[in-house]
């Protein structure tokens, strides 16, 4: 069982592009966070995923998963920041792009579109 668990962590670390002891620890926290999301324990998921991100801040999938946990906990602003960070780290990370789009434009942002017509002159 321990061998299977370690293999799963190594696979997760490889998928995240992580190496070294800190990276394996990050994969462990990420796994815990994912399980907590699945169990509906969003505060615990956030704590676990924040720890994973602190250990591997360059891993876009960790930021995305943290955003998912924030969103599930009703913390949309923090979710947006996490998704934006994931996209900043990896502009091709489709899950983060999709999650960011699902939030719509940021609060207070003006939707881009055609300019309104100028008022007619005298």
How do residues 5-30 score in pLDDT, each as one tens digit?
444 544 455 455 555 566 788 989 99
- Helix crossing, 21-38 with 2-16: angle to 10°? 100
**Nearest-angstrom CA–CA distance, 64 and 87:** 8
> How far is residue 70's CA from residue 49's CA, in Å, rounded to a whole number?
10
User: Looking at the domain assignment, is residue 112 inside a domain?
Assistant: no
CATH of the domain at 79: 1.25.40.10
Any domain includes 19: yes
- DSSP line for 28-97: HHHHHHHHHHHTT-HHHHHHHHHHHHHH-TT-HHHHHHHHHHHHHTT-HHHHHHHHHHHHHH-TT-HHHH
Expressed as residue numbers, the domain containing 15 is 2-102
Count structural domains, the chain. Answer: 1
Please check whether residue 73 lies inside any domain of the structure: yes
pLDDT class of 2 with cuts at 50, 70, 90: very low
Query: Does a structural domain hold residue 116?
Result: no
Q: What is the pTM of this model?
A: 0.73
In a domain, 110, yes or no: no
Identify whether 119 is part of a domain: no
**Angstrom distance (rounded) from CA 81 to CA 5:** 31
Please indicate, yes or no, if residue 48 is contained in any of the structural domains. Answer: yes
């Amino acid at each position: 069982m321990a061998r299977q668990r370690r293999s799963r962590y190594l696979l997760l670390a490889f998928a995240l592009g992580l190496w070294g002891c800190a990276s394996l620890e990050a994969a462990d926290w990420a796994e815990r966070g994912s399980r907590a999301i699945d169990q509906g324990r969003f505060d615990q998921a956030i704590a676990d995923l924040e720890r994973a991100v602190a250990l591997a801040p360059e891993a876009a999938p960790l930021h995305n998963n943290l955003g998912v946990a924030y969103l599930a906990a009703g913390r949309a602003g923090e979710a947006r920041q996490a998704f934006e960070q994931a996209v900043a780290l990896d502009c091709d990370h489709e899950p983060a792009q999709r999650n960011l789009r699902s939030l719509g434009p940021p609060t207070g942002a003006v939707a881009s579109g055609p300019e309104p017509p100028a008022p007619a002159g005298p």
